[in-house]
A = this chain, B = another copy of it.
């Protein structure tokens, strides 16, 4: 099968044997996969991953112990847990210390024609959600995790820092609360994608942080984002931290203490609510697709994802 392979230094298109599902796993033919900022970070050494990257996908089940899944279109949760440790037994499978993570840690991912995942990680995609929308399920779920972790209320003021892939989806989710939203980014063209969503948008150069946001969602992907977040947040406010990178920014912790601000790390989220919001049209994603490439044109795809594009997809079937 065709797969993108990262050897720890560079990515290349290779031919590899079709993976063999372990007990309890399904074999899935990947239809469409999305490039995420985490993938770009992995190519720079994040998580010291080697193997097939890619964790956002929609595919068709080829084989599974559960025959009702075979032939079905599915998306897949990325954390593969042991189901027997203290975290798994308390419902925190995604924090299982024995876990593998699709295309990120110890498990080959979705930039390949076939991928294996435990059956319990799969979610059937309703017919009304096409592939180009379904491929957003994983990052949309990650944005819904914000609302699982903090209680954003309709009267709150929320600032989203960043205008890229995750920031765009976060704006599309958080706006459903009815709160006031300001998105601050560096790219006019990306900010324009928020038109008609009822969120305000401002270029970073025109933005003056003033410690008035009840919540800040930090989705810049840059170490400088967290410092800006601390300049935006009001006393007793909460900063939801979404960016992952290898650097350790210096933080003025006394400000955190004096203003009793919280930093809330936020990662993966629930798939079923994401599928509901995609299915009922509450969250639009079509305008976020910058380009779709076949896997043979993977280099162009990754170049585009690393430049000013929003979501770049790789079509595999």
- Residues on A lying within 8 angstroms of B by beta carbon are 46, 87, 92, 95, 149, 223, 226, 235-236, 241-246, 248-267
Contacts and interface: CB of A to CB of B under 8 A. Distances in A.
10 contacts: A46-B254, A87-B235, A241-B256, A243-B257, A244-B258, A245-B253, A245-B254, A250-B251, A260-B265, A263-B263
Nearest to A242: B257
Nearest to A225: B253
A262 B260 contact: no
Given A245-B254, A248-B251, A260 B226 contact: no
A223 B92 CA distance: 31
Contacts of A95: 235-236, 259-260
A265 B266 contact: no
B253 A250 contact: no
B92 A236 contact: yes
A95 B254 CA distance: 14
Contacts of A226: 253
Interface of A is mostly: mixed
Contacts of A258: 244, 265, 267
A265 B265 CA distance: 14
A46 B254 CA distance: 10
A260 B252 contact: no
B257 A267 contact: yes
B250 A248 contact: yes
A250 B253 CA distance: 10
A261 to B, nearest CB: 5
A265 B267 contact: no
Contact of A251 (B87, B92, B246, B249): B249
Contacts of A250: 248-251
A257 B239 CA distance: 12
Given A92-B236, A95-B235, A249 B253 contact: yes
A254 B38 CA distance: 11
A266 B236 CA distance: 9
Contact of A263 (B223, B262, B267): B262
A182 B291 CA distance: 54
A254 to B, nearest CB: 5
A260 B95 CA distance: 9
Closest 6 CB pairs of A and B: A256-B265, A95-B235, A248-B250, A257-B265, A263-B263, A244-B254
A44 to B, nearest CB: 12
Contacts of A149: 260
A226 B226 CA distance: 16
A267 B87 CA distance: 31
Contacts of A259: 95, 265
A236 B96 CA distance: 11
B257 A253 contact: no
Contacts of A87: 235
